[in-house]
A = this chain, B = another copy of it.
């Protein structure tokens, strides 16, 4: 079953917004084992949209249309698709009731007449109720072809896709597909691929796909089989082998868990508090930790010590250390981490000092040179990193590497106990 994705929205053609839904839906299709050969973006124009839908239905088995389902006059995706496929429209009582309930809960009484167009459904369509908005999703089938219409706003699209459309597509596919996410820190994408060459080359089921993130690689293993149990059996040994090869560099196998969530979870588990002492990252490391709801249990305060004076005053870094080795040195990073533990009365401190550029680099200390230190239970680990890219990229990589350093230090220190 081949898939084609069609995105509807003049704002995409004008470059007002980035089409993140395209990445999301493409990845979901890959995950379901459905090959996507084309994506098309078209505006809110009846003729051009009809032509795009006709072409897509001619060359793919399944066409997913995204956007243009709302209540305004511009939203014509449903009308055009039903017309192209030859379905008459009919008010759906259940959709109408949901709409009424939606407006009632929000105390809205002045509903423009055009909003009720959202209760019109092509005859015989499968309806996917929208838990987070007014426009339902739809599936239309005719002559062996299927069109699925989904709302544009990501907060409506994502849950509808996960909870309703993926199960629907899975039930229609032949056999079962199962996949497992493995998130790895500390290896580059090409290194990961090199280490898995035999698994990638040797077999096409399960398949392995790598997704490069900043200083992380996400690995998706996907197995297909006649039954879910068989797919699970195919998956298990491969996942086990990958975990063995990467060891503690695998920070999670939970699709939804982020690196900072893992760090906060570990801190909670071992009843530790942490603080941050940041120079070149200027607060971004603490900002990532505070991303996690409930971070206040493990993180109470943090310091941005951008100037040398601040490093001395707040963290007690030695004047002589700064003079002799400079602010960007393993010695300063170490003293920052130790000083942070004392200043915040925390169990651990992660310190970052580096040259993010574009200026300030020298031959000995080039732009991209960053020292990280983690002080935990009287042990200090210092790491030297040489990052590439612009100021933003260098700071971003520093943050990820610092989170991972903290994670590894906790594992090393606490597993011993």
Least distance between A220 CB and chain B CB atoms (Å): 10
User: Are A359 and B39 within 8 A (Cβ)?
Assistant: no
Contact status of A282 and B293, CB under 8 A, knowing A20-B18, A304-B301: no
Query: Chain B interface: which of A85-93, A176-184, A284-292, A374-382?
Result: A284-292
Query: Chain B interface: which of A120-128, A143-151, A238-246, A306-314?
Result: A306-314
Query: Which residue of B28, B212, B286, B305 contacts A15 across the interface (Cβ within 8 Å)?
Result: B28
Contact status of A14 and B37, CB under 8 A, knowing A285-B283, A314-B301: no
A residues sitting closer than 8 Å to B (CB atoms) are 12-20, 22-30, 36-43, 45, 48, 52, 55, 209, 211-212, 276, 278, 280-287, 289-291, 293-296, 299-307, 309-310, 313-314, 344, 357-359, 391-392, 395
User: Are A300 and B293 within 8 A (Cβ)?
Assistant: no
Task: Give me 18 A-to-B residue pairs in the complex whose CB atoms sit less than 8 angstroms apart, sorted by A's number.
Answer: A12-B26, A13-B37, A14-B27, A14-B209, A15-B22, A15-B23, A16-B23, A16-B211, A18-B20, A283-B286, A283-B287, A284-B290, A287-B395, A293-B359, A296-B307, A300-B306, A302-B306, A304-B304
What would 9 more interface pairs be, CB under 8 Å, given A22-B41, A40-B40? A18-B22, A38-B48, A39-B40, A282-B283, A283-B290, A287-B287, A287-B395, A291-B392, A296-B306
| Residues of chain B with a CB closer than 8 A to A295's CB | 282, 306
| Residues of chain B with a CB closer than 8 A to A283's CB | 276, 278, 282-287, 290, 302, 304
User: Are B38 and A42 within 8 A (Cβ)?
Assistant: yes
Q: What copy number does this chain have within its complex?
A: 2
User: Are B25 and A15 within 8 A (Cβ)?
Assistant: yes
Task: Give CA–CA (A29, B10) in the complex, Å.
Answer: 13
Query: Which residue of B13, B26, B287 contacts A39 across the interface (Cβ within 8 Å)?
Result: B13
Task: Give CA–CA (A295, B359) in the complex, Å.
Answer: 12
User: Are B291 and A391 within 8 A (Cβ)?
Assistant: yes
| Residues of chain B with a CB closer than 8 A to A55's CB | 55
Residue of B nearest to A42 (CB): B38
Contact status of A24 and B30, CB under 8 A, knowing A280-B290, A283-B285, A306-B290: no
User: Are B43 and A29 within 8 A (Cβ)?
Assistant: no
| Residues of chain B with a CB closer than 8 A to A282's CB | 283, 286-287, 289-291, 295, 299, 302
User: Are A48 and B37 within 8 A (Cβ)?
Assistant: yes
Query: Which residue of B22, B30, B358 contacts A19 across the interface (Cβ within 8 Å)?
Result: B22
Least distance between A396 CB and chain B CB atoms (Å): 10
Task: Give CA–CA (A283, B280) in the complex, Å.
Answer: 12
User: Are B293 and A357 within 8 A (Cβ)?
Assistant: yes
